Every structure is written in structure tokens, then in C-alpha cells.
Structure 1
Amino acid sequence: MRFLIIIPAHNEEQNLSFTLDSLLQQNHKDFKVVVVNDGSVDKTPEVIRNYTERDFRFTTINLQKSGHQPGSKVVHAFKKGLQTQALDEFDIICKFDADIILPENYLQTVADAFVNNPTYGLVGGLLYIEKEGSWMYEGNSNKHHVRGPMKAYRKDCFVQMGGLRETLGWDNIDAILLENLGWKEVVIPELHVKLIKVKGTDYTIRAADYYGRYFYFLGLNRFLAYIASSKEAMKSKSVSFFFDIIKSYEHCRSKKLELMVTKEEQKVINDQRWRMLKKKWLKM
């Protein structure tokens, strides 16, 4: 199984070498890495050059700084890297972040999972973050969802679902669409991936605005968006937070901002959310 690994990187001089070193240490050697330098103004290009000059498996492209919003920005960079490669040469397509450390058996374990399970479309591990000198599970409530920093797709699945969507919520949209096509999303819990930087720390968007935009661009209808908003408000124990999220969601609706999912895909996403709601909350 040959891997194509795309790594978007913006001002990652402090973290990127950890990610690339962990790839060099993999016991599965058949891979190619494209690091997409997304307008970095620090020493990220120099870090990349240290690898491209000594190992033919590493290459790079340079972009001007993307003006896209969180979520769409990273997929935009990913797609630019993907366009430089011939997908027919690869079996597995990976989108990795520039601030993760992979265990040395990561690629081999993922490859074995795909070989032994023809219905697997998306595979990954669990994220761990450093707290008080120890690496602790990142704490996301869904241990069955492959998180955005470490996505590995079977190429056939990736092509069939139309690749990644350049929008906020892309890393949930992918899982819903591939499941609808008959593929499985699988987390291998023994694969512990260290996340150097906590996600979201670079975002300037307010939490309520983020959730409102997220629910809109995910394609949720008004009823499901309001339900999802109430769940986030309950977590924060704040009624005002609910109304702030709704305000953001309704603002997007009023502006009729373009969605990156089709009407048919919106129906798939809403149907899946409704099934989850009935199962978890309504016990149906």
C-alpha cells in the first residue's frame, strides 16, 4: 500500500520537524509527502527544505497566504498539494496536520487495516495532548470519529465521495458521505497520535460565531441547527450562548452563503443527524 501524505503548514517552524521526523521513523517506508507551505512568514520553508534536500519522498509547494476561513483554509491548501500528484500512483490518501507526532507503526497499522478490511474507507487513531508533563487523551466525546489532523482515506473511497469539501465542517461531512456510500470510518484506539498544539488556538472567530457558521456550512436545516445549538449551550450552561449561536446561523442563512455540499448531500447529512438524535436523545 503506497501512501500520499499531504501536510498543509502555515507558520509551523516550531512543530513541523516533529511531524516529519515521525514520518521518517515509520516502519512502513512506501510513502510520498507533499508539504504545502501556505504563506508562512517564519522559518517553515527552511524546515521543509531540510527534508526535501535529503529524502526524495519529501516535496513541497508554496502558496500565498490563504484568506479562507478556518476549515476551508486547510482544505484549500490540501487540494493545492493534491493537484500536484497523480492519484493513480497511490492506494491511500492522507491529510495530516503539521503539528502531530505519529507512532512509528502508524502507517503500517493503517495499511494493514485497509488490506484486511475491504469496506474500510477512512482510518485513524486517537489524539493525545500534553498536560502537566503527561500525554492525555484529547477528550473528544466521539471515539469513533477520525479527527481532522490524521485522516487516512482509501483512494477509491476518497475519489468516490468527491474528495474533501472546502468548508467549515469538512471533517464531519467526509465521514457522513463515505458512510452513505457504504464505506466505514474506523478508529484504531491503540494508535496514539500526539497533538503538539491544541486545535482552535489560532482562530480569531468567537465560539458562538464558529458554531453558528459550522452548523450552517454543515448543511443542517433550521430544526437540527437549533437542537445542536441547544446542546452546545447546555454544555456551557448559558442561555445567551444559545441565542448567539442561532444569531450567527441565521445571519449565514439570510446572506445565503454558498454551501459546498449539494442538495442531495444535505439530505444525507440531515438524515444522519436525525438518526443520531433519535438514537441518543429520543431513544428511538
Structure 2
Amino acid sequence: MRFLIIIPAHNEEENLPFTLDSLQQQSFKDFRTVIVNDGSTDRTTEVIRKYTDHDSRFETVNLQKSAHQPGSKVVNAFKNGLKTQNTDEFDIICKFDADIILPDNYLETVANAFKNNPEYGLVGGLLYVEKDGSWVYEGNSNKHHVRGPMKAYRKECFVQIGGLRETLGWDNIDSILLENLGWKEVVLPELQVKLIKVKGADYTIRPADYYGRYFYFLGLNRFLAYIASSKEAAKSKSVSFFFNIIKAYEACKTAKLELKISKDEQKAINDKRWKTLKKKWLKI
């Protein structure tokens, strides 16, 4: 199996070397890495050159800086890297972040998982962050969901789901769509991936606006969006937070902002959410 790894990077001079070093140290050697330099203004370009000049497995694509919108920016950079490659040459397509450290056996373990399980469509490890000098499980998502910084797709699955969507919520949309098509998303907990910086630290969007927009672009109907909003408000123990999320969601609906998913895909996402809701809360 051969890997195509796309890494979007914007001003990652401090973190990117750790990511690329961890790739060079992989026990599995058959991969190509495309680093998409998304308008960096620091020394990211020089960092990338140190690898592309001495290792033919590393290439780069340079972009003008794109607008910093959660979700769409990183997927836009990913797609610009992907279109420079002939995907027929690869079996596994990866979207990695520029601030992770992979264990040395990461690619080998993922390759074996795909090889031995033809139903696997998306595979990844678990994210760990540094806390008080130790690496601990991040805990921002359930342990059955492959997080955005370390996605590895079987190429056939990636093609069937239509690739990644330039929208907030893309890394949940992919999971739902592939499962709807009969593929499995699998987390390998033994693969501990270190996340160097906290996700979302660069976002300027307010939390309530983020969730409202997220639920809208995920394609949730009003009922499910309100349920999801109440759950987030309960975590914050704030009634006003609920109404602010709803305000942002309804503003998107009023403006009829474009969704990056089809009507059928929207139905699949709502059906999945409703099924999960009944199973978890209604015990049906």
C-alpha cells in the first residue's frame, strides 16, 4: 500500500519540523508528502525546503494566504495539494496537520489495518496533548472518531464520499457519509499521536457563533440543531449560551448560506444523528 499525505501549513515554522521528522522516521517508507504552504509569513518556507531538497518523498505547493475560516481554509489548502497528484498511484490518502508527532509505526500499522480489513474506510489513532510535563489523552471527541489532524482514508472510500468538504464540520461529515456507504471508521488506540498546540487557538469566532454555524453547515434540521445546542449550553451551564447558539444557527438559515452537502447527504446526516439520539437518550 502506498500513502499520499497532504499537510496544510500556515506559519508552522516551530511545529512543522516535528511532524516531518516523525514521517522520516516511519518504519513504513512508501509514501509521498505534499506540504501546502498556505501563505506563511514566517520561516515555514525555509523549513519545508530543508526536507524537499534532500528527500524526494517531500514536495511543496505554495498558495496565497486564504481567508481564515474554521474548516474551509484547511480543506481548501488540502484540495490544492491533492490536485497536484495522480491519485491512481496511491492506495491511502491522508490529511495530516502540521503540528502533530506520529509514532514510528503509525503508517505501518494503518497500512496493515487497511490491508487486513477491506471494510475499513477511515483509520487513525488517538490525540494526546502535553499537560504538566506528561502527554495525556486530549478527550475532545469520543474514542471511536478519527480526529481531523490525522485522517487516513482508503482511496476508494475517499472517492465515494466525494472527498473533503470546504465547510465547518467537514471532519464529522466524512465520518457519517462513509458509514452511510457501508465503510467503517476505526480508531486504533495504540497509536498515540502527539498534538503540539491546542486546536482552535487561532480562531477569532465566538464559541456560540461557532456552534451555531457548525450545526447549520453540518446540515442539521432545526429540531436536532436545538437539541445539540442545549447539550452545549448544559456543558457551559449557561441558558444565554443556548440562545446565542440558536441565534447564530437561525442567522445562517435566514441568509440561506450554501451547504457543501447534497439533500441526500443532509438526510443521511440527520438520520444518523437521530439514530444516535434515540440510542443514547431514549434507549431505543
Same fold (TM over 0.5): yes
Q: 1 CA distance for matches of 2:141 and 2:120?
A: 22
Deviates more, 1:66-75 or 1:248-257: 66-75
Is 2:11 aligned against 1:11? yes
Aligned residues: 284
User: 1:203 corresponds to which residue?
Assistant: 203
Q: 2 CA distance for matches of 1:66 and 1:203?
A: 14
Is 2:194 aligned against 1:187? no
Is 2:27 aligned against 1:27? yes
The residue correspondences of 1:135-284 to structure 2 (distance < 5 A) are: 135-284=135-284
Q: CA deviation at 1:140?
A: 2.4
Any idea what SS the aligned residue of 2:210 has? helix
For 1:111, give the aligned amino acid.
A
User: 2:97 corresponds to which residue?
Assistant: 97
Cα distance per residue 1:146-203 (max 9 Å; x no partner): 0000000000100111100010000000000000000000000000000001000000
Cα distance per residue 1:120-169 (max 9 Å; x no partner): 00000000000010000001241000000000000010011110001000
Any idea what SS the aligned residue of 1:188 has? strand
User: 1:46 corresponds to which residue?
Assistant: 46
Any idea what SS the aligned residue of 2:168 has? coil
For 1:105, give the aligned amino acid.
N
Q: 1 CA distance for matches of 2:4 and 2:258?
A: 30
Any idea what SS the aligned residue of 1:252 has? helix
Q: 1 CA distance for matches of 2:74 and 2:227?
A: 28
Deviates more, 1:62-71 or 1:118-127: 62-71
Q: 2 CA distance for matches of 1:143 and 1:2?
A: 26
User: 1:84 corresponds to which residue?
Assistant: 84
Q: What is the aligned-residue RMSD (CA, Å)?
A: 0.5
Tell me the percent identity. Answer: 81
Q: 2 CA distance for matches of 1:68 and 1:221?
A: 26
For 2:184, give the aligned amino acid.
K
The residue correspondences of 1:107-122 to structure 2 (distance < 5 A) are: 107-122=107-122
Cα distance per residue 1:37-65 (max 9 Å; x no partner): 00000000000000000000000010000
Q: 2 CA distance for matches of 1:244 and 1:140?
A: 22
Q: 2 CA distance for matches of 1:210 and 1:51?
A: 36
Q: CA deviation at 1:67?
A: 1.2
Q: 2 CA distance for matches of 1:125 and 1:11?
A: 25
Could you list the runs of 4 or more consecutive aligned residues of structure 1 that deviate by over 4 angstroms after TM superposition? Answer: none
Q: 2 CA distance for matches of 1:169 and 1:70?
A: 9
Query: Structure 1: where are the runs of 5+ without partners?
Result: none
Any idea what SS the aligned residue of 2:232 has? helix
Any idea what SS the aligned residue of 2:136 has? strand
Q: 2 CA distance for matches of 1:45 and 1:141?
A: 32
Cα distance per residue 1:69-127 (max 9 Å; x no partner): 11010000000000000000000000000000000000000000000000000000000
Query: Structure 2: where are the runs of 5+ without partners?
Result: none
Cα distance per residue 1:183-225 (max 9 Å; x no partner): 0000000000000010000000000000000000000000000
